[in-house]
Structure 1
Amino acid sequence: MATPRPLLPDVQIDAHQHYWDPARGDYGWLTPSLTALFRPFGPADLAPLRADAGIARTVVVQAAQTIDETRYLLKLAHGDASIAGVVGWVPLDDPAAPALIDELAREPKLKAVRPMLQDLPDDDWIATAPTARAIDALIAHDLAFDALIFTRHAAALETFLKRHPALRVVIDHGAKPPIRDGNAGWTAWADAIARLAHYPQVCCKLSGLATESGPGWDDATLRPWVGHLLASFGAHRLLWGSDWPVLNLNGDYERWHACAHRLLAALSDAERAAVFGANAAAFYRL
């Protein structure tokens, strides 16, 4: 299979979105009670939203902790040029994980893995699980790592980062800040973000903030949280993502895309181009 050509630096990229089909049966969290989400979502559903926002390509991220779903997303990517990369799932603590990573890495659109840390019963799993051989395999294949965390996972993630300085890591959704709680959780979250930003191999996704907000969020609601992420990571380590279709629970594609552009209006053209595309292309090797 031919290696995809690198994307141009001025191409807008959605660095975090999902496709799924509930009929596949491996999305434990996706139940009929989530009426806005409980249906198939595929590239044809996102295409008009991408077009309206000027988004050329996307990174599709796993939403089930199964190898079958990773293969499903890679198959979708084979048939749709808009999918620039796939973030899959691998059982990193399984002795068979290195061989599985070796196999999956033959797919040129596999760019990273994500263990869904937020859903694991042990908040310290990433610091204590026997994942070293799997992480070495990721590094050997130049694959990255998506960290889906809350503030409570930050200390364990720091231990992991110190152990694997050669691994490229991106924090999903700004570590899911407690926006709907107002100032109650600000200090702990802001301190965690500042600590994680000290690690040069770490980037952060400007995504998922609408979902973490209360109903009726606007620019003013999100401004301090976006401002802290920008101050901590800088424009060249932030990646804009939609988190669509989860975004539909508390917003929509156009609204969040436009809001992010307004909140970053003070950046230079080059800095905005970085956040809205170039950083994702570089981080994920698109």
Structure 2
Amino acid sequence: MIDGFTEERIDVGDLTLNVQIGGSGPPLVLLHGYPQNHHCWAKVAAQFAKSFTCIVPDLRGYGLSDAPADNDAHSVYSKRQMARDIVGLLDALQLSSAYILGHDRGARVAYRMALDHPELVLKLGIIEIVPTGDFWAAWNADLAMKAYHWTFLAQDAPLPERMIGADARSYIDWTLSAWVLDKSLDVFEPAALESYRTQAEDPARLHAMCADYRAGATFDRALDEADRAKGRQIQCPMKFLYGEGGFPAQTGDPGSVWRDWAPDLTIESCISGHFVMEENPAAVIACFERFFLQH
């Protein structure tokens, strides 16, 4: 658990999410990415909880939330479906709207929620991604080498599950350290690191994480491309933070990509690799605390 938070199992309709809740004030939902879970927010949650009621779920398939099997259309772990889970979470908590902050896969859920359910998202915070369709379109040799997991995890089951499952702990350690600016695991709290390793050793959750990327290569990419063709945009204020050594920085000018999607956009960068909340928590707090508190 995150220190000072309570843990609840909440029925959101199709399944049950494991959720950490703490603090007081307007609701702020924090959505984690791959290969992590709610633990990734531990270094920033206590500060946010001074001003907000922080709601920190494990996304479907991650942490201790339910992990259903994928389907042939790869819609089970689509960001549209995962966004519906968060809509169901707000309904269960009797909340009519919230601030949403997401990192990595959670950021993809967050912007999909802002597009599909704009009435529920007061402000949107995005950490360390560009939209799925745009990221695929930006691929070159260098980005393909750094983001190889996008194609590897998206291969048909059970190939990546079997390969990772042969030594899941080593795979997680390799992945985490490769995406950190100083290539070290020292930035991760011991409890968080162990939870990421244990999660990948569970066959159902390993399958879910691969299904998340299968959706990204198919369902999610097609949805983004269709929305771009229609000119759909994010209507709420949006703040984008990326690490100077992370993935979006490899796409050229990541801010220009987001400007096509979000007319009310502000952008910041910081010294960090991909795991900004754990590598540079002060930057995350400074960036988003004032953003969400500004009315």
Give TM-score, length-normalised by structure 2.
Answer: 0.35
In the superposition, the TM-score normalised over structure 1's length comes to 0.35
